[in-house]
Amino acid sequence: AQKVTQAQTEISVVEKEDVTLDCVYETRDTTYYLFWYKQPPSGELVFLIRRNSFDEQNEISGRYSWNFQKSTSSFNFTITASQVVDSAVYFCALNSGSRLTFGEGTQLTVNP
């Protein structure tokens, strides 16, 4: 069985603060993929990043960075200098085998 846990249901920050969204996953497979998606108020899920289980290098893309640690089964997402436009629901997802499992999402609100 596979599972994705996003323990933070809601996070509220003030603009320009850094914020980290946590994601913990469970799988028995040795080969798997991890994802982060953003869901703005318009509804669609926007793909942000994919990592495979053999690549533990952290990644940075502009204000976004991801910390993948197999030892703790975590794939955390940090937004640096947050902006109001970052307000959205963020989903972590795990592909193991032929199934994609989503976490319950974290609602991030960035206040001006």
Give dist(CA 103, CA 83) in Å, integer.
23
> Which range of residues in 17-25, 42-50, 64-72, 77-85 is near another protein by CB under 8 A?
42-50
How many chain residues touch another protein (CB under 8 A)? 21
Can you tell me which of 52, 72, 83, 111 binds another protein, judged by CB under 8 A? 52
Does 46 participate in binding another protein (rule CB under 8 A)? yes
Beta bridge partners of 14: 111
DSSP 7-72: --SEEEEETT--EEE--EEE-S-SS-EEEEEEE-TT---EEEEEEETT----EEETTEEEEEEGGG
* Integer CA distances (angstroms), 51 to 11, 78, 90, in order: 24, 15, 16
Can you tell me which of 54, 57, 98, 112 binds another protein, judged by CB under 8 A? 98
CB of 11 to another protein, least distance (A): 17
Can you tell me which of 10, 60, 72, 97 binds another protein, judged by CB under 8 A? 97
In the complex, the residues that contact another protein under the rule CB under 8 A are 33, 35, 37, 42-47, 50, 52, 91, 95, 97-100, 102-105
